Structure 1
Amino acid sequence: MPPTLPEFSSSVKLKYVKLGYQCLVNHFLSLLLIPIMAAIVVELLRMGPEQILSLWNSLHFDLVQTLCSVFLVIFISTVYFMSKPRTVYLVDYSCYKPPLTCRVPFATFMEHSRLILKDNPKSVEFQMRILERSGLGEETCLPPAIHYIPPTMEAARGEAQMVVFSAMDDLFKKTGLNPRDVDILIVNCSLFSPTPSLSAMVINKYKLRSNIKSFNLSGMGCSAGLISVDLARDLLQVHPNSNAVIVSTEILTPNYYKGNDRAMLLPNCLFRMGAAAILLSNRRTDRWRAKYRLCHVVRTHRGADDKSYCCVYEKEDKDGKVGINLSKDLMAIAGEALKSNITTLGPLVLPASEQILFLLSLIGRKIFNPKWKPYIPDFRLAFEHFCIHAGGRAVIDELQKNLQLSSEHVEASRMTLHRFGNTSSSSLWYELSYIEAKGRMRHGDRVWQIAFGSGFKCNSVVWKCNRTIKGLTDGPWTDCIDRYPVYIPEIVKL
């Protein structure tokens, strides 16, 4: 047989060669400066104090030149620090935990489907197959009002008040923040957009100040939570000594599809109720108690492409019933959006060793052979934790494969999908809470949150942990985290 190249993943020698290469490239300056500094110190010790003093006197420093140099250094330093963006901290966050009365096991869900689709048993069977393959467990929750036919506006407002107010009450309790001290409020909910808005509902409930800067984002899909973070960051850059509260949720009551179109039945099987409230601040006094520091936000929007624009589309079916249509091309479109997003994010977070390999691979494909397999950077060198939007099992599987992540890296996403389902824009915060509840978050750890949304959008946010979090004593996982002591694939197997 002709000789073949060794398998990179199993070759121990090549593994250590790559580790040596990474160490050399990523610590090049340190490896270069250490011998230079050592040589300077040795030379100074050899010269002795008299020769050092003689050398200093021979430089003939003029007092005016010295003062001008000091002034120039102070001026440049002042300009640098004044133009530097304000640091944004994530003080704390809270996730809504649905009551047991809202739990919808598979049997309950299917019974509800049979009552609604009694004239079309094939659609019921289709939903059962999707549910079995979805990665959802038996403890996900739906609002009681979905059983109303038709659902009322009052019931939808009731769900919004239940999930949003519960999350915000918990946030105010955790942080000790007085509601009247909130400077900026951002509420995002894609499908339910009442008048007055959800942000006005929050202002009315907590009697927030009349000069508060409030925003209500709708129609932006599951990535709207990270869009809210980006908006809050921009606002905190121009408003010093301020804080921002973000509320991410999705109201399901008026959006449960009751038709027979299979592409529109998928959201029924995946989406479940949830909400998260997040407190951001640019105050230096919050640095010591904040959990995370915001490092990067990268947003990618492919709405100019017709297929991307229509792949998640709200419309009426042939019977006039409104629902969300999910295209068969969704995963391919998400892959293209992710590729564009990480192309921008990569240079910001990847170590030099990975950027060099990626550049060489790109040059090789452009100049020598376009069929060369492109080099996929190892993002595990840039991040310790990954929060992939729990949009469904297929989404998590595809990102795990493309980013070459381990089972532990996607554990938070799989467990969130299994326990809470797809809670839309708030799912990333349930995942972060899972990592903290496991006691895995250490000081200096970096977290990558990735979300996809209609339009089509792919957004990324990078956080850096300010302090070690030794497991949570409260939150959505406190009563079930012990049931998942380690990641067990059998829990979510198909």
Structure 2
Amino acid sequence: MAENNHIKLLYHHFISNAIYIMLVPLLILSFNYLSSSTTDNLLHALWMTMRSNLPVVIICGCFLSFFTVFYIVSHPRQVYLVDFSCFKPGEDYKVTRETALKQFMINDQFTEESEAFQRKMLERCGIGQATYLPESLLGKELDICMTSGRKETTMVIFGAVDNLLKKTGVKPKDIGVLIVNCSLYNPTPSLSAMIVNHYKLRGNVISYSLGGMGCSAGLISVDLAKQLLQVHRNSCALIVSTENITLNGYMGNNRSMLVTNCLFRVGGAAILISNLPSDKCRSKYVLSNTVRTQKGAYDHCYNCVVQEEDEDGYVGVALSKSLMSVAAETLKANITTIGPLVLPMSEQLLFIATLFLRKVFNLNIKPYIPDFKLAFEHFCIHAGGRAVLDELEKNLNLRNWHMEPSRMTLYRFGNTSSSSLWYELAYSEAKGRINKGDRVWQIAFGSGFKCNSAVWRALKVVNAMEEKDNPWIDEINDFPVVVPKMVSLSV
């Protein structure tokens, strides 16, 4: 196995540097030709040719100037990730698995079977003993109302945005684009309006509130911000990703809906991206690619994650038994699109060659799975649950080191919906793993059903030890921890 890996690595380096290898004999021939002719003779011949074809030279020069200007004007502007901040609740909001289950059971609405199912799920789904619940679910009585829901959301959003503005030095008036995504909590006035009001953003700020788009909405927000920053010059965008737990705990006994009680916890992130060339020197990353895959046209995909009422009238999010197969199908479509954009030529040639042999010669060989470890140094896979992470680790042929940020985020913070990707990136930064030029692949799944990707390239070595607001910084030396293997439970 080790010998095969060395052969493949040698092949990869050969294909990646093939152009330089082919240039060597060309340079040798050119040097021999130039050495056999005097420089004066060559320059004289070139000058005489240009004088005899002056109109053609002028026309070619005009065309070259035109296309150069056209390319500069039409070329997409680079979008920089200046910085981001993840919200970390205080110690008063921290709960163990046992405490979380106890709090949800205060109203005695669960049957013994539902209680046993949640207890087993909590033990085996990858959640640790130090996640966070909102104040509304921690009292002697559950306080589930609009006021409590708004209190949770303002605590998370304002906490993340305050930290981000403080560490970047950006003034609220400098923000030209505002995008907020929260799937299940969409009050009136909107969450974006709430931020505009609190921070007194300028009157012509372009604001959006994205709702009902699931855990992948954070990357949808990144893609939307990228598109807007291609139109609006010299501007920066504030993205806020969060979810509300207060109003979305499930109090019924439908097993397909009980899973969300075990996985989802309080969290949120604020991200600042910019198209200002002057921000490049202080930014952490530059955005390379975004790819969005939507499978909502197919009923089995559309219906695999649905918010609805159960037979007793309790509202919850039902997860279909086909969720894992739908996620795998959507992931395949997403990586088929992103592969040609990021994979080295060596992997693309192997994929095409294998496909050719299977389709044309009908050879009974396995489809070639590209090695994405050659395209990315870091992977941030949405911490939706232990089963999802296990499946992606297998399908992408990743190692424990690559999966560590996702598994530890799930263990320490739980599923914080669309913001989980940023806790994962913060983990890699806190571990000192991000070097200049490293590529980061963020992958997220969401209801609909969607799979979205974003690729970032590090502009510098990230020294997280200088960042006091990194959510991992005080306890990073305690990780990684061993997480028990997932045991599937029937829903």
TM-score in terms of structure 1 length: 0.94
Residue 210, structure 1, aligned to residue 200, structure 2? no
Alpha-carbon shift at residue 116 of structure 1 (Å): 3.3
Is the contact made by 2:109 and 2:251 (CA closer than 8 Å) also made in structure 1?
Answer: no
Is the contact made by 1:414 and 1:492 (CA closer than 8 Å) also made in structure 2?
Answer: no
Is the contact made by 1:114 and 1:121 (CA closer than 8 Å) also made in structure 2?
Answer: no
Is the contact made by 1:383 and 1:446 (CA closer than 8 Å) also made in structure 2?
Answer: yes
Residue 388, structure 1, aligned to residue 381, structure 2? yes
Q: Which amino acid aligns with 1:318?
A: E
Residue matched to 1:192: 185
Residue 173, structure 1, aligned to residue 169, structure 2? no
Residue matched to 1:5: none
Residue 403, structure 1, aligned to residue 403, structure 2? no
Residue matched to 1:74: 65
Distance 2:311 2:185 in 1: 23
Distance 2:142 2:11 in 1: 64
Residue 47, structure 1, aligned to residue 37, structure 2? yes
Residue matched to 1:15: 5
Residue matched to 1:256: 249
Q: Which amino acid aligns with 1:151?
A: I
Q: In the superposition, relative to structure 1, how do residues 450 and 372 fare at CA in structure 2: closer, same or farther (>3 Å)?
A: same
Is the contact made by 1:146 and 1:256 (CA closer than 8 Å) also made in structure 2?
Answer: no
Residue matched to 1:482: 477
Q: In the superposition, relative to structure 1, how do residues 274 and 61 fare at CA in structure 2: closer, same or farther (>3 Å)?
A: same
Q: Which amino acid aligns with 1:221?
A: G
Residue matched to 1:126: 117
Q: Which amino acid aligns with 2:456?
A: W
Counterpart pick for 1:29 among 9, 16, 19: 19
Residue matched to 1:87: 78
Is the contact made by 2:124 and 2:484 (CA closer than 8 Å) also made in structure 1?
Answer: no
Deviations 1:92-133 (A, max 9, x none): 111001111111102212322443346511211110100011
Q: In the superposition, relative to structure 1, how do residues 373 and 477 fare at CA in structure 2: closer, same or farther (>3 Å)?
A: same
Q: In the superposition, relative to structure 1, how do residues 119 and 155 fare at CA in structure 2: closer, same or farther (>3 Å)?
A: closer
Matching of residues 97-108 of structure 1 within 5 Å: 97-108=88-99
Distance 2:40 2:291 in 1: 57
Q: Which deviates further from its counterpart, 279-288 or 55-64?
A: 55-64
Deviations 1:59-89 (A, max 9, x none): 4544444443333222111111111111111
Alpha-carbon shift at residue 479 of structure 1 (Å): 1.0
Q: Which amino acid aligns with 1:27?
A: N
Residue 338, structure 1, aligned to residue 328, structure 2? no
Counterpart pick for 1:329 among 317, 322, 335: 322
Distance 1:155 1:334 in 2: 33
Alpha-carbon shift at residue 413 of structure 1 (Å): 0.4
Q: In the superposition, relative to structure 1, how do residues 178 and 41 fare at CA in structure 2: closer, same or farther (>3 Å)?
A: same
Distance 1:53 1:118 in 2: 91
Alpha-carbon shift at residue 137 of structure 1 (Å): 0.7
Describe the SS at the equivalent of 2:308. Answer: strand
Q: Which amino acid aligns with 1:120?
A: T
Is the contact made by 1:293 and 1:464 (CA closer than 8 Å) also made in structure 2?
Answer: yes
Counterpart pick for 1:294 among 283, 287, 291: 287
Distance 1:138 1:164 in 2: 24
Give % identity: 52
Describe the SS at the equivalent of 1:177. Answer: coil
Residue matched to 2:442: 449
Is the contact made by 1:117 and 1:260 (CA closer than 8 Å) also made in structure 2?
Answer: no
Distance 1:346 1:446 in 2: 14
Q: Which deviates further from its counterpart, 458-467 or 53-62?
A: 53-62
Describe the SS at the equivalent of 1:450. Answer: strand
Residue matched to 2:489: none
Is the contact made by 2:101 and 2:119 (CA closer than 8 Å) also made in structure 1?
Answer: yes
Runs of at least 5 residues in structure 2 that lack an aligned partner in the other structure: 487-491
Runs of at least 5 residues in structure 1 that lack an aligned partner in the other structure: 1-9
Q: In the superposition, relative to structure 1, how do residues 168 and 11 fare at CA in structure 2: closer, same or farther (>3 Å)?
A: closer
Is the contact made by 1:189 and 1:217 (CA closer than 8 Å) also made in structure 2?
Answer: yes
Q: Which amino acid aligns with 1:247?
A: V
Is the contact made by 2:145 and 2:247 (CA closer than 8 Å) also made in structure 1?
Answer: yes
Is the contact made by 2:109 and 2:252 (CA closer than 8 Å) also made in structure 1?
Answer: no
Is the contact made by 1:146 and 1:254 (CA closer than 8 Å) also made in structure 2?
Answer: no
Residue matched to 1:7: none
Counterpart pick for 1:144 among 135, 147, 151: 135
Describe the SS at the equivalent of 2:354. Answer: helix
Residue matched to 1:423: 416
Distance 1:447 1:483 in 2: 24
Q: Which amino acid aligns with 2:419?
A: S
Q: Which deviates further from its counterpart, 467-476 or 366-375?
A: 366-375
Residue matched to 1:284: 277
Q: In the superposition, relative to structure 1, how do residues 88 and 50 fare at CA in structure 2: closer, same or farther (>3 Å)?
A: closer
Distance 1:380 1:403 in 2: 9
Over the residues paired in the alignment, what is the CA RMSD in angstroms?
1.7
Q: Which amino acid aligns with 1:29?
A: I
Alpha-carbon shift at residue 338 of structure 1 (Å): 0.1
Q: Which amino acid aligns with 1:99?
A: G
Distance 1:279 1:492 in 2: 36
Aligned length: 481
Matching of residues 1-12 of structure 1 within 5 Å: 10-12=1-3
Deviations 1:389-442 (A, max 9, x none): 000111111111100011111110011011100000000000011111111111
Residue matched to 2:266: 273
Is the contact made by 2:110 and 2:252 (CA closer than 8 Å) also made in structure 1?
Answer: no
Distance 1:65 1:337 in 2: 53
